[in-house]
Structure 1
């Protein structure tokens, strides 16, 4: 792993990147200067062995996260038949008795988090344990697709071991630049003759590819997941319409373009699609279901939503007015409730920082798996109090918001924000990001390792400058990469 500071600069690269979807590259800073998110010129180069190490780490970490999710849902009283009966009219979950309640998830959401977690597991529907009711609802199998996610990893090249910093499991962005922009950059600069050129099969794994040399074709994440969904919900048409929703209050256009790119891959995979705003997701009281509400100038009526992808945090959704109705709609697949991509469990079990202490609790004593982790604890625990160098992170947070780095008992850097107001924090043993020399000073890269349908699919690199760059924020740069550059 090496940083090349003086790579080629393509003529018209800004216009090229814009035309490919990077419409949110330039940002005006408070001092009036312009900041370019994409860095044209510098790039990182990896050996094939380093890429294989990152791919292995991603595979192992994903398997560990699935085990951690199993552990979390088993800490909820509503998993048991008795818990479901007792909780019909009264609360059975408290921070003392339930892991989900401990991290601030409202109880009305717990059953659907658990149900969507077990969807698609054949053993779920034949489980005969008298105490555990793993069927949500009983004897009605369903499927809750999860298409993508991204691990943020510490890595310093050969001789080091990738370490998990966090899992962006529900709303990861930087997808356009990782899947499309850097792929075209590698094609246009032609810096390497290596057959891999770049670790980047994101687009192909979403869309699929045709068979060659007698090998079976890969249908891609969209076709594979929708096919499984139709097995569980046979009333859906062969090609159900997929809505794609984004939050219009995000003014840079980043959310819109990430959602639009995912929508384009679903359309390329053969499905009808429609891009909508989060504010256009409505509730039909008479029909008791989720609908798309057309905006001004759209003359068609409200349309039922069978399948929808939304780039919007579930922890916002379930705390907003009306959230209970959407979770009730999910409760019984036989009533044709809406299917959400990504499903609620991606936020509740995987996409928040509470995952980190659970992983360490389960695998901290396993040398083959703990090597990919950093010791992590809930901030109020006695183990956390013993750490003198650590990262303090809000359980519910994004883009480095409210992350504080402590080194030898003193603040190294922090990033105040609105996240963490609920008081839910974890601490993770400090491992400072690697340092490389950049034109403007010392820079610190973090590896974004992408998963498509649970499989390693590629990499994007974000880079911060100076001490403040030890926490990766929204204005940190994106740099492309190669394998075996000349």
Structure 2
């Protein structure tokens, strides 16, 4: 793993990147200077063996996360038949009895968090109506699709072992630049002649590829997941319309373009699609349905939503007005409730920092799998007191907000934000990001390792500057990468 400081600079690269979807590249800093998110010129170079190490780590970590999710589900009383009989709004999940309650998840969501978790396992949901004593019996099988996610990893090249920093399981961004922009950069610069060139099959894994050179065709994540969904929900048309929702309060355009890119891959895979704002998702009281309000040409008629992807955190959604109705709708026994991508379990079980101490509890002593983890504990636990150098992270936090780095008992970096006001934090053994020489000082890269349909699919690299860059924030740069380049 090398940082190449003086790579090729393409003529007109700003316009090229803009035309490919990177419309949120430029920003004005508080001091009035201009900031470029994409760094043209420098890039990171990896050996094929290093890429294989990252790919193996990503696959192993995802398997561990699935086991950790099973453990979390089993700590909730509603995973049992008796727990489900208590009713939608009853209270059986006390802090003492339920892990999900302990980390701040409202009880009314637990049933659907657990159901969508088990629905994603074909071996589980196909047996629901065969065994009435199953942990979570249902009238009919169902399926809860999940398309993507991203691990943030510490890695310093050959001789080091990738370590998990966190899992962006539900709403990861930087997808446009990882899947599209850096791929075109590699094509246009020709920095490597290696067979792989770049670890980047994100787009192909979303839309699929035909059979060639003796290799079988792959339908891609969208076709594969919608096909499984239609097996469970036979009333859906062959190609159900998929809505894609984003939050319009993000004025940078980043959320819109990440959602638009995912929408374009679903359309390329053959599905009708529509881009909408989160504010256009409504509730039809009479029909007891999630609907699209203000649909063009149908302003006076709410349109039912069967399948929707939303780039919006579930932990915000379930605290907002209307949340209870949306979760009750998912439980419709006729299976005509709205299907949400990513499903609620992605935030509740995998996409928050409580995952880190659970993984350490389950696998910390495993020599083969535990090597990819860092010791982690809930901040109010005895284990937390054993660490003198650590990262303190809010369980429900994003973009480095309210993360504090402590070295030998002394804070070295703080990032105050609105996150963490609930007092829920974890601590993770400090593993400072690697250091490389940049033009403006020392830079610190973090590896964003992408999963598409649960499979390792590629990498994007974010880079922070100086001590403040030890915590990756929304103003950190994106750099492309290559495999065994000629520089």
TM-score by length of 1: 0.97
CA contact (8 A) 1:79 1:132 kept: no
1:35 is matched with which residue?
A: 35
Q: CA deviation at 1:82?
A: 1.6
Q: Which residue of 1 aligns with 2:311?
A: 311
Equivalence map 1:146-165=2 (5 Å)? 146-165=146-165
What's the CA shift for 1:89? 5.9
What's the CA shift string for 1:229-285, capped at 9, x where partnerless? 000001101100000000000010000000000000000000000000000000011
Structure-2 separation of matches of 1:279 and 1:407: 43
Find the aligned partners of 1:404 and 1:224 in 2 and give their Cα distance.
41
TM superposition shift of 1:81: 1.5
For 1:391, the equivalent position in structure 2 comes to 391
Tell me the CA shift for residue 214 of structure 1.
4.0
Offset, 1:85: 2.3
For 1:133, the equivalent position in structure 2 comes to 135
Number of the residue aligned with 2:478: 478
| Alignment-derived partner of residue 251 in structure 2 | 251
TM superposition shift of 1:149: 0.2
**Match of residue 406 from structure 2:** 406
* Shift in alpha-carbon separation, 1:189–1:107, aligned structure 2, 3 A: same
1:10 — aligned with what? 10
Deviation string, structure 1 residues 90-121 (Cα, Å, up to 9, x no partner): 30001111010001000000000000000043
Q: How does 1:220-235 map to 2 (within 5 A)?
A: 220-235=220-235
Partner of 2:177: 177
TM-score (norm 2): 0.97
Q: What corresponds to 1:65 in structure 2?
A: 65
Q: Which secondary structure state, in structure 1, belongs to the residue aligned with residue 369 of structure 2?
A: helix
2:351 is the alignment partner of 1:339: no
Instruction: Tell me, in whole angstroms, the C-alpha distance in 2 between the residues paired with 1:41 and 1:322.
Output: 48
Separation in 2, partners of 1:226, 1:163:
33
Partner of 2:143: 143
Correspondence for 1:196: 196
- CA separation of 1:440 and 1:206: change in aligned 2, threshold 3 A: same
Match of 1:23 in 2: 23
- The answer (yes or no) to whether the contact 1:200–1:457 under 8 Å persists in 2 is yes
How far does residue 155 in structure 1 lie from its aligned partner after superposition?
0.1
Identify the residue that residue 442 of structure 1 maps to in structure 2: 442
Give the whole-Å Cα distance in 2 for the aligned partners of 1:250 and 1:48. 38
Contact 1:163 1:372 in 2 (8 A): yes
Residues in 2 aligned to 1:142 and 1:88: alpha-carbon distance in whole angstroms? 19
Instruction: Tell me if structure 2 keeps the 8 A contact 1:58–1:151.
Output: yes
Q: CA separation in 2, counterparts of 1:403 and 1:232?
A: 42
Aligned equivalents of 2:440, 2:89: Cα separation in 1: 61
What's the secondary structure of 1:392's corresponding residue?
strand
- The aligned residue for residue 117 of structure 1 is 117
Secondary structure of the structure 1 residue equivalent to 2:372:
coil
* Deviation of the 1:449 alpha carbon: 0.2
SS at match of 1:406: strand
Q: Deviations over 1:421-461 (max 9, x none)?
A: 11110000000000000000000000000000000000000
Partners in 2 of 1:259 and 1:480 — Cα distance?
21
Question: How big is the shift at 1:294?
Answer: 1.5
Question: C-alpha separation between the residues in 2 aligned to 1:151 and 1:18?
Answer: 26
Would you say the 8 A contact 1:244–1:276 is kept in 2? Answer: yes
Match of 1:415 in 2: 415
Cα distance in structure 1, aligned partners of 2:118 and 2:206: 23
Q: What is the number of equivalent residue pairs in this alignment?
A: 484
SS in 2 for 1:117: helix
CA distance in 2, matches of 1:466, 1:131: 57
**Separation of aligned partners in 1, 2:141 and 2:401:** 39
Q: Deviations over 1:334-364 (max 9, x none)?
A: 2400000000000000000000000000001
Q: In the alignment, which residue of structure 1 is the partner of 2:84?
A: 84
Contact 1:120–1:141 under 8 Å retained in 2 = no
Contact in 1 for aligned 2:246/2:312 (Cα 8 Å): yes
- Unaligned stretches of 5+ residues in structure 1: none
Give unpaired runs (5+ residues) of structure 2. Answer: none
Q: Which residue of 2 aligns with 1:380?
A: 380
CA distance in 2, matches of 1:130, 1:453: 30
Counterpart CA distance in 2 for 1:269 and 1:198 is: 23
333 and 339 in structure 1: CA distance in 2 versus 1, 3 angstrom threshold: farther
Question: Alpha-carbon deviation of 1:295?
Answer: 5.9
